Amino acid sequence: FPTQLLRSAPMSSLSGALTEVVARVFTELGLSPEFGRVTPSNRPDLGQFQCNGALAAAKAAKQNPRAIAEQVLGRLQTLPQFRDLSLAGPGFINLSLTDDALGAYARAFAADERIGAARKSPPEMVVLDYGGANIAKAMHVGHLRAAIIGEALRRLFLFVGDNVVGDVHMGDWGLQMGMIISEMELRRPDLPYFDAAFKGPYPNASPVTAEELEEIYPTAAAACKADPARMEKARVATAELQQGRPGYRALWQHFFDVSVEMMKRDYGALGVHFDLWKGEACVDPLIAPMVDKMKAMGLAREDQGALIVPVAKPDDKKEIPPLILIKRDGAAMYSTTDLATIVDRVQEQNPDLILYVVDQRQHLHFEQVFRTAIMAGINGKATMEHLGFGTMNGPDGKPFKTRAGGVMKLQDLIAMMSNSAMERLNEQGIATDYDPAERQEIARRVGLAALKFADLSNHPVANYVFDLDRFVRFEGKTGPYLLYAAVRIKSILRKAETQGDTPGAILPPEPGERDLILALGDLPNAVMDAYRERAPNKIADYAYGLAQTFSTYYNAFHILSEPNKAL
């Protein structure tokens, strides 16, 4: 068995491989194998790994923990892969591997295209909902975190082995549509879209550009807020749009088309991919049958002209108000389209999991939607999960705004990051011999890395402060630092090739190289922890630690100037 750890491709982390060994010893001693869990040591001065299971095992077996630990140790000592084994405190076991064992693991790791991470089997079908940008409104920093965290999870789930469908789920069916339509009617009453008698066909060209919409929406929203009569108009327009008034639908289609083009540009600039470009509107035909079903089940009931679903449970700690399914004027709500979207996803993908990456402040909304979906039995076999994220704040601790106090547009934010990265390149005299276009591209990538890593290195639920100067630094826990480490490694490999050095077999490590192999051998743990906890920051932390370990190694060892070719 011990040689199996050395020869086969590592289908696990180093600590995972050791857990198998130690768990077997626990079993041999008549104890439960679950006590054999080995983790990287939090006291590297005492050993590379530790196992604390003897304490729990002793409690379960009503024995002395040190006695159990000594028996385990005795058996481990007969195995060839350990350089050092010791006992500490009431029964902690410290373990260190021989350099031969580490070298063998490193070779298997290098040969394994999954770098030690087992592929999940069987895969599950996962629908990821991490877009939520709204038609006719500019994308802003609120959609940034959803996109960045969601994209990281999409790649992570795919790597682990699930089937993933990423859906942008645009906001395109709510009251904001009626606000814009009624604002347009005031500005351009001549357009055929408002003439109920018009028989068509409607013009092919959009009467507005996306940029114009970005101005029209805030103006319309402010007017509706200030004037109840305007708000009433917007409500009526929304209800009529949803009921299918042809002119409104035609106008809506224009809003939709020009907005989607812009969203594709913005998400594309972030390197964020969606498999589906669906929105709230496209599930509209599913609403009526769904509502009928909920009525027939006695789930939905009338309340002051509206249709509501009471979702409170007796053991609720906080009051959960009823979900509003249909408003008095007949309009569908945000919750209604989210429910119909569940119906659609069950029909189309039949997912095992629907994961919503949406602002934590929408938690109540998702609680109401999930409860309703389960009571109505519309979620098929899907578990529904809301991964709520915190806000990106300005220095004042409030959600990030522009200097003028407005909403920061995503496009402007990205430009700001690139500019700041360019300043850093200039300051440090980096890439001065590159042509300007290529240099601009480097700045763009460095800026994007800064933005994405800053976001991903925080736990999703945490709020964090946008600190441009810190994010674009080449030192510290930043995206540019990681890029720098990766580029340095690539540069070494390229130079090695030029001087005729090719990779040979990995030899047992020198003492200073051990840390690098130990760090690499922990990668599968970081991946699986991030996957289980939906926490991409675990990978960000890992990557930063690995870059630091590499840097230490690089400073201590010759690489290109190493005279011993075999080494």
Nearest-approach distance from CB 368 to ligand ARG, in angstroms: 12
**129 is a contact residue toward ligand ARG (CB under 6 A):** yes
- DSSP state string for 91-156: TEEEEEE-HHHHHHHHHHHHH-TTTTPPPPSS--EEEEE----BTTS--BHHHHHHHHHHHHHHHH
Question: Which residue, 338 or 522, has its beta carbon nearer to ligand ARG?
Answer: 338
Which window, 47-55, 129-137, 397-405, 428-436, contacts ligand ARG (CB under 6 A)? Answer: 129-137
Question: Which residue, 17 or 141, has its beta carbon nearer to ligand ARG?
Answer: 141
Nearest-approach distance from CB 380 to ligand ARG, in angstroms: 17
What are the CA-CA distances from residue 278 to residues 164, 287, 467 (Å)?
15, 15, 34
Give the number of other Cβ atoms within 10 Å of residue 566's Cβ: 7
CA angle at residue 418 from 415 to 420, to 5 degrees? Answer: 110
Question: Which residue, 170 or 547, has its beta carbon nearer to ligand ARG?
Answer: 170
Nearest-approach distance from CB 105 to ligand ARG, in angstroms: 43
Question: Which residue, 370 or 531, has its beta carbon nearer to ligand ARG?
Answer: 370
Nearest-approach distance from CB 333 to ligand ARG, in angstroms: 11
Pick the binder of ligand ARG from 134, 182, 238, 336 (CB under 6 A). 134
**Total residues binding ligand ARG (CB under 6 A):** 8
Q: Give the C-alpha separation, 107 to 8, whole Å.
A: 10
Question: Which residue, 17 or 224, has its beta carbon nearer to ligand ARG?
Answer: 224
Nearest-approach distance from CB 342 to ligand ARG, in angstroms: 9
**DSSP category for residue 207:** S
Question: Which residue, 132 or 509, has its beta carbon nearer to ligand ARG?
Answer: 132
Q: Give the C-alpha separation, 296 to 305, whole Å.
A: 17
Question: Which residue, 287 or 517, has its beta carbon nearer to ligand ARG?
Answer: 287
Question: Which residue, 10 or 132, has its beta carbon nearer to ligand ARG?
Answer: 132
> H or E element: which one contains 164?
strand 163-167
CA angle at residue 340 from 334 to 343, to 5 degrees? Answer: 150
Question: Which residue, 356 or 466, has its beta carbon nearer to ligand ARG?
Answer: 356
Which window, 31-39, 127-135, 192-200, 468-476, contacts ligand ARG (CB under 6 A)? Answer: 127-135
Say if residues 18 and 49 touch (Cβ distance below 8 Å).
yes
Task: Return the structure tokens found at 372.
Answer: 């309703």
**145 is a contact residue toward ligand ARG (CB under 6 A):** no
Nearest-approach distance from CB 274 to ligand ARG, in angstroms: 12
Question: Which residue, 63 or 360, has its beta carbon nearer to ligand ARG?
Answer: 360
Nearest-approach distance from CB 208 to ligand ARG, in angstroms: 20
Q: Give the C-alpha separation, 257 to 260, whole Å.
A: 5
Which window, 30-38, 126-134, 342-350, 501-509, contacts ligand ARG (CB under 6 A)? Answer: 126-134
- Say which residues have a Cβ less than 8 Å from residue 28's Cβ, sequence separation at least 6: 75
Pick the binder of ligand ARG from 173, 267, 274, 356 (CB under 6 A). 356
- Of residues 358-397, those binding ligand ARG (CB under 6 A): 358
Pick the binder of ligand ARG from 338, 455, 515, 522 (CB under 6 A). 338
Give the number of other Cβ atoms within 10 Å of residue 42's Cβ: 7
Give the number of other Cβ atoms within 10 Å of residue 550's Cβ: 18
Nearest-approach distance from CB 129 to ligand ARG, in angstroms: 5
Question: Which residue, 169 or 424, has its beta carbon nearer to ligand ARG?
Answer: 169
Site string for ligand ARG, 171-200 (x = CB under 6 A): x-----------------------------
**513 is a contact residue toward ligand ARG (CB under 6 A):** no
**54: nearest Cα among 43, 38, 40:** 38
- Say which residues have a Cβ less than 8 Å from residue 125's Cβ, sequence separation at least 6: 162, 163, 165, 349, 350, 351, 352, 353
Bridge partners for 276 per DSSP: 167
Residue nearest to ligand ARG (CB): 132
Q: Which long-range contacts (CB under 8 A, 24 or more apart) does 414-419 make?
A: 414/269, 414/270, 414/447, 414/448, 414/451, 416/447, 416/468, 417/447, 417/448, 417/450, 417/451, 417/468, 417/471, 417/472, 418/443, 418/444, 418/447, 418/448, 419/443, 419/447
- Say which residues have a Cβ less than 8 Å from residue 264's Cβ, sequence separation at least 6: none
**341: nearest Cα among 296, 389, 373:** 373
Nearest-approach distance from CB 169 to ligand ARG, in angstroms: 5
**128 is a contact residue toward ligand ARG (CB under 6 A):** no
Nearest-approach distance from CB 299 to ligand ARG, in angstroms: 21
Nearest-approach distance from CB 132 to ligand ARG, in angstroms: 3
Question: Which residue, 284 or 338, has its beta carbon nearer to ligand ARG?
Answer: 338
Question: Which residue, 171 or 479, has its beta carbon nearer to ligand ARG?
Answer: 171
Pick the binder of ligand ARG from 169, 386, 534, 538 (CB under 6 A). 169
Say if residues 175 and 234 touch (Cβ distance below 8 Å).
yes
Nearest-approach distance from CB 163 to ligand ARG, in angstroms: 20
**344 is a contact residue toward ligand ARG (CB under 6 A):** no
Q: Give the C-alpha separation, 560 to 539, whole Å.
A: 29
What are the CA-CA distances from residue 509 to residues 239, 284, 503, 505, 512 (Å)?
70, 62, 15, 12, 8
Pick the binder of ligand ARG from 40, 132, 351, 536 (CB under 6 A). 132
**Which residues contact ligand ARG by CB under 6 A?**
129, 132, 134, 169, 171, 338, 356, 358
